[in-house]
Amino acid sequence: MKLSVLIPAHNEEDGIYNTVAALCGTFYAEHMSFEILVVNDHSSDNTEQVLRDLTQEFEEVRWLNNQKPGGFGYALQTGLEEFKGDAVCIVMADASDDPRDVVKYYRKLQEGYECVFGSRFIRGSKVVDYPQHKLVLNRMANWFIKTLFGLRYNDITNAFKCYRREVIEGAMPVLACHFNLTVELPLKAIVRGYSYTIVPTNWYNRTTGVSKLKIKEMGSRYLFIVLYVFLEKLLSRGDYHRRTNPHMPLSELPDNARLSRTR
């Protein structure tokens, strides 16, 4: 299985090299098949030159410019259209995500899961220097989504997740153009019946650059996407629901799905 790591990058000249180099070093040690795709999102600093240097040093790294309007969601859309792997993992450019957790995701995909979701707020996870005001808003938003959809998962808003290619294809077209895309993808995957598992993950606050998330601008956009997927769950009558998961081991499937798989 080849894993694509998708990294949107806007004005990340100070941190993107270390982020990509750490990922490559970890993946080499684990003998993984991978590519790293960085989408340069209209950067006005030296990010593009750093990306050129990275492609010269690591053959698994490639980059492209976001030709859509600027913004995190648009950059992700560009990358989701262009990644070449059997699965894709969304990773932040600021080194907030732990490369070892990407390896955990990869191993879970190899077990047969179609999605792997991380949680920074369960036993075994570690969070370093999370801004207090963002933490409060994060916990409130995730509690709302968790309650609305009846989920046990408590970190739906985190971008750091992994999906098989067919999940991305099954979630198209995506509507979100901003950070709310990170909510649309996992909620659609869950509502549409793709298999997933949850693992503890670590998070580290950035030490370079500036966060691109504008909380005041995103509240209504997050709410729109959440309600949009919730209406699909209530009203679509299963029109978009996937059928049998071809990757999940037979022992993991419900009895009716196991029967249909073995016929």
All structural domains of the chain with their residue ranges: 2-262
- Alpha helices (runs of H) in 30-150, residue ranges in sequence order: 47-57, 72-82, 99-111, 132-149
pTM value? 0.88
CA 217 to CA 213: how far, in whole Å? 9
Residue 254: cis peptide before it, omega within 30 degrees of 0: no
Question: What pLDDT tens digit does each residue of the chain (263 aa) get?
Answer: 999 999 999 999 999 999 999 999 999 999 999 999 999 999 999 999 999 999 999 999 999 999 999 999 999 999 999 999 999 999 999 999 999 999 999 999 999 999 999 999 999 999 999 888 889 999 999 999 999 999 999 999 999 999 999 999 999 999 999 999 999 999 999 999 999 999 999 999 977 755 555 555 567 899 999 999 999 999 988 888 887 655 555 445 444 333 333 22
Q: What CATH topology corresponds to 2-262?
A: Spore Coat Polysaccharide Biosynthesis Protein SpsA; Chain A (3.90.550)
Instruction: Tell me which DSSP letter residue 127 carries.
Output: E
